[in-house]
Structure 1
Amino acid sequence: MGLVAEFEITCEVLPFVSVIDDLSCDGIDLEMQLNHGDTPIFLAYVTGAAVTEADAAFDRASFVGQSTLVGRAGDTLRYQVVPSVGMDAHMGEEIDDLDGLRGLAEAAAIIDHIEVTPTGWVQSGWFADRAAFDEFRRFWQDEGEFTLRRLTRDGEPEPPGDGLTDPQREALRTAYEMGYFDVPRGASLDNVAAELGIGASAASERLRRAQTHLVETTVASTWPPLPD
């Protein structure tokens, strides 16, 4: 089963980072059209900026070869941006593994949303399996900084916030406030279960699942794979 992930990449030489740094706006979102050889075409959605300011910011960006305003909706401007060079040429001086960068374009993944930040990109998309996701993760851990925000299996309802269910969040908060995680413990599992109004085995299972989820979506995603 595939995975759906949202993650932040810290790498200030990524395309359009210089644009958002140069432009006073509410945000820039991107779509990449990868069927244009080595140089993908971008659709850039600029929110909260005047046309003249956005045009000038694109003109000053070395990555941008041509930018064309193709539409607007409310205060969002839609541009088609043709890069002056491919991403490997643009980022070549800052990226050590250019073959790995090119390989990401052929990975079993579909990146359906990119948000530009002053320090890089926030990406979200679909990955065929954990190996495809780990290819992205390992590359950006090596070349910049990678922070996982959310990881779920394809087809599962998208979890709110941290991805915990309401009962799991309630169990964690109750256990924490009662001192269950203190050393030494200020409350027993039976105490926590009684406060939640459930049995001790159900409380244990709820806490275990909550803790496992938090580990899998935070620190576990940054560990290198175990040797075979």
Structure 2
Amino acid sequence: MNIVTAEFSVSSDTFALGQILQNGADVQIELTHFVPIEETLVPYFWAETSDPDAFETSVRADDRVASLTKLDNGSDKTLYQIEWATELDGLLTALQEHDLIVEAATGTADSWRFHVRGPDHGNLTAFQQTCQELGVSIEVHRVRNPNESDTNRYGMSEKQQDAVELAFTDGYFDVPRETTLGDLGDTVGITGQSFARRLARGLHSLIAETLLSDSAR
């Protein structure tokens, strides 16, 4: 089966779940999964915020939410489930319509980043077109076939390529820098020092296979 994956970002203001969960400037959302129930997608997510009571009050007050259920408490975050009172909005409808599985998603009051999996490139293209027709603007960062070799044509491993692309898209190479090695490491679940080594190896391979490809090495 020719499975492909994609990563994209979208403004929190452009889809219902992002709008509903953006209460509080410090809110951090980690989507665990969607469960399809009666032609809708019920989201389960971890929320980290300095004011959980205000967050819960805001979410429950939204007309689009039938219920918000607290399922578990972590050390600094809480697991919730939302049930909808209305039909799905554009982004979630498009994901369901084109058979895309959300493998991971994280969000803040400003934007969300999704990692999705689909049966082929055609589904992803159709998903983008549907989002455009529904007025949902998404920024695609990466499309990949997981069945490809672990080492790409630039000599980088998949994890090294991920590190280089994440550092680039999150502004590590910008002047001034918009993120740190520690933050990038947190994103992928490793220490900043480990991320720095992974990034350095990836950049070494990338430069060697591109800028220095015709030079003696």
Q: TM-score scaled by structure 1?
A: 0.62
Superposed CA deviations along residues 40-61 of structure 1, whole A, max 9, x for unmatched, are 2111210133331221121232
Superposed CA deviations along residues 12-66 of structure 1, whole A, max 9, x for unmatched, are 2412323443224341122443421133211121013333122112123232211
What does residue 115 of structure 2 align with? 124
Name the aligned partner's letter for residue 60 of structure 1.
A
What does residue 166 of structure 1 align with? 203
Match of 2:136 among 123, 136, 144: 144
More moved, 36-45 vs 6-15: 6-15
Q: Are positions 1:30 and 2:22 aligned together?
A: no
What does residue 183 of structure 2 align with? none
Query: 1:56-135 to 2 correspondence within 5 Å?
Result: 56-87=57-88, 91=89, 102=93, 104-135=95-126
CA offset at residue 144 of structure 1? 2.4
Name the aligned partner's letter for residue 121 of structure 1.
W
Name the aligned partner's letter for residue 103 of structure 2.
D
Q: Is the 8 A contact 2:95 2:101 kept in 1?
A: no
Structure 1 stretches (4+) deviating beyond 6 angstroms? none
Q: Are positions 1:153 and 2:190 aligned together?
A: no
Query: What value does the CA root-mean-square deviation take over the aligned residues?
Result: 3.0
Superposed CA deviations along residues 55-109 of structure 1, whole A, max 9, x for unmatched, are 112123232211111101111111111111121xxx4xxx6xxxx9745314243
Residue segments in structure 1 that go unaligned for 5+ positions in a row? 176-188, 199-228
Distance in 2 of aligned mates of 1:32 and 1:140: 20
Distance in 2 of aligned mates of 1:104 and 1:48: 27
Residue segments in structure 2 that go unaligned for 5+ positions in a row? 151-157, 166-198
CA offset at residue 172 of structure 1? 7.8
> Which entry has the higher C-alpha Rg, 1 or 2?
1
Report how many aligned residue pairs link the two structures. Answer: 170
CA offset at residue 120 of structure 1? 4.8
Q: TM-score scaled by structure 2?
A: 0.64
Q: Is the 8 A contact 2:5 2:115 kept in 1?
A: yes
